[in-house]
Structure 1
């Protein structure tokens, strides 16, 4: 707990932390407003609603919030390298590993909070920016929201509906981006190199996951595809058509494992890097 408290104080004391958080919220709100203004007249679909509220830009390697979270983690580790709290002779291996783990946890939690706040701000912005001719009941009508709920477990979308599942996937993606930023920066002891590695991961992970899923006879659920950064590039992988737009589509059992694998590999690589060093 002392490590987490130390990391929280250190993260909160960095001016870059607050600048990144503010920049992410402003950029997210601006993108959400632009996407909302482009929605044609008629009933707002769940797919368009998810894109507006999460402010996903397919041309970016990650959603804006995840990029900001990754930068937050990378800069946090970079600041620790430039201005260490303890001299190298006082930092044992166990303490170094604890500091990296604590930093990844704290940044991940802050990133999750940023994602939740961003979703709320974007929802308000979308409500204002949508044209009067657009029926946004899918976002704001409780009866429509309740009608979208389906039975089953959490991975099947139980009691959360398509928008809730997409929002949960978005929050997890942003939190993972923050923690991955810390771990990637720890490999090179450089914030910029860590952020570059983080941006390169989706281009490798998503096609590989698509290929493995299709080899096992499965595919990406439609609501997961909406918040993934290379959602349109997923169709480049041969092996079958795109995931069908089924409202109650379940998550393939293999999918969480495949998506968590890069973060686990980053953590193992960071641990190996600490074993070979005498300083953080």
Structure 2
């Protein structure tokens, strides 16, 4: 059962609150409709229940507020607006990624596709789905965790009558299994057709809380719907004859040359139109909305009432995925962007290698990496940085973890998973570039040009470290500033801004600052360092002595501090 108590949204400027002291309940095994005109506060009420907006009040889901529930997707399924997935991702890929976030088995995605009638459209992209298919996919995402409660914000908006009937049947089936369903609508007829109980609100306040039979009796009244090219003349004639006969008949002009006549019937209206020679194109009996009753006047505030205000609603960040590694792998490989970036990098690097070999004079490492002197970074490093930037940037544009709870949170587990996955992708990309360039050079110029240098291990470590460092720099910058462009800018800033700055600080090449570092470390150590680790330490010092390597290390340290600072600041705010 869902219990909403004293929901009141925060005031903004001098405007009244969108929701004002709203209290009602939605029982298990029943479908409850939250009815109100556009702007009545229905969506704002749902957001308060989900702790998305600040305010006051409390909402209990089977006796517990949302922040006390260990795994919210297994208790509450939410559909607010459209599916917030990447438009290039497939419907099945989106659900499988959300399965990893909710801790559900991957088979649950196919089960939900079958349930909502999308089993044949699992491979279709989200951006190509119609409004009805999009709603079905949103319902499938809401049902992934097998929740007890469903919160649906105007789910029938834009649907055909057939699709709306299917939706109401799905809500009925969920309630029949003991679940709780709360959905919003602005159409009283839809509420009568699909709900067991109707909660009416107006201007954010509770107007009525009724069983559907009582609601139909008090809210709707019979009327005659008339459409005529001479609607104004017909309205005047009907009103005049009703006054002459002293009958209570109300004529309301609608859009499109239509009339709604209350207190009469089709036979009487047809006779009047026939006597006066007025053509009628449509004449039907309907149930019309009598409008919501006036909300009760607010009780005067008192000291006792002020002391019993409902608790404040604290906006909390969404929880991270329960299986972050699986989620991150499916997020990266679920769209063609990753493959496209790698393909472009391989082609650009191969073309640069062939051009450098033809011109001549390029060092062997730059030749194998496809790194012309005109570029601040090689194509592989730029591609790795772009992959890292998209790890957070795409999610801030298309939230994936929880549609109803804003953008992706800065969770440590999710960050570690992103670092590992992007690092692995950058390593694979850098090695593929070298292998591809060697094969292309061998094809065009023979084995002599494509020969492996003598210090291949040291060069490979430097090359992989450069790619991984650029990927992490892009990831951290995009996560800090919440935009993919910031990640790309951070990667480009390393050779363009940070390297010249460090060279000025050290008044010379950065290698001078690390000269003799391994020897000094051996002297400070309590125990003698074996020769093997000593050689690795020297190699690491040589890598860091390179201007780009030292600048990348400094940039990563600065970005880690900035990321941690924004995360701690947001956590203190929450």
Common fold: TM-score over 0.5? yes
- Structure 2 residue matching 1:272: 3-state secondary structure: helix
Q: Does 1:20 pair with 2:336? A: no
User: Which residue, out of 368, 383, 389, partners 1:53?
Assistant: 368
2:402 alignment counterpart? 86
Structure 1 residue runs without a partner (length 5+) = 41-46, 149-160, 222-248
The 8 Å contact of residues 78 and 190 in structure 1, kept in 2 or not, is answered as yes
Structure of greater Rg: 2
Q: Does 1:10 pair with 2:325? A: no
- Aligned-residue CA RMSD in angstroms? 3.3
Structure-2 separation of matches of 1:192 and 1:253: 28
1:207 alignment counterpart? 500
Q: Flag the 1:268–1:98 CA change in 2: closer, same or farther, 3 A.
A: farther
1:153 alignment counterpart? none
Q: Does 1:183 pair with 2:476? A: yes
2:164 alignment counterpart? none
* Structure 2 counterparts to residues 60-139 of structure 1, below 5 A: 60-84=375-399, 85-87=401-403, 89=405, 96-130=411-445, 135-136=448-449, 139=451
Q: Flag the 1:39–1:68 CA change in 2: closer, same or farther, 3 A.
A: same
User: Which residue, out of 326, 337, 353, partners 1:32?
Assistant: 353
- Measured after TM superposition, the shift of residue 87 of structure 1 is 4.8
Structure-2 separation of matches of 1:83 and 1:115: 28
Structure 2 residue runs without a partner (length 5+) = 1-321, 516-537
- Structure 2 residue matching 1:60: 3-state secondary structure: coil
- Measured after TM superposition, the shift of residue 20 of structure 1 is 0.3
The 8 Å contact of residues 392 and 478 in structure 2, kept in 1 or not, is answered as yes
1:271 alignment counterpart? 564
Q: Flag the 1:183–1:51 CA change in 2: closer, same or farther, 3 A.
A: same
Higher RCO (Cα < 8 Å, 6 or more apart): 1
Q: Flag the 1:13–1:180 CA change in 2: closer, same or farther, 3 A.
A: same
TM-score normalised to structure 2 length: 0.35
Structure-2 separation of matches of 1:216 and 1:197: 20
Q: Flag the 1:196–1:91 CA change in 2: closer, same or farther, 3 A.
A: closer
The 8 Å contact of residues 396 and 407 in structure 2, kept in 1 or not, is answered as no
Higher normalized helix content (fraction of residues)? 1
Higher normalized strand content (fraction of residues)? 2
Matched residue count: 223
Question: For residues 137-168 of structure 1, what are the alpha-carbon distances to aligned partners after superposition, in whole Å with 9 as ceiling and x for unaligned?
Answer: x815xxxx6xx4xxxxxxxxxxxx2x432232
- Measured after TM superposition, the shift of residue 30 of structure 1 is 0.9
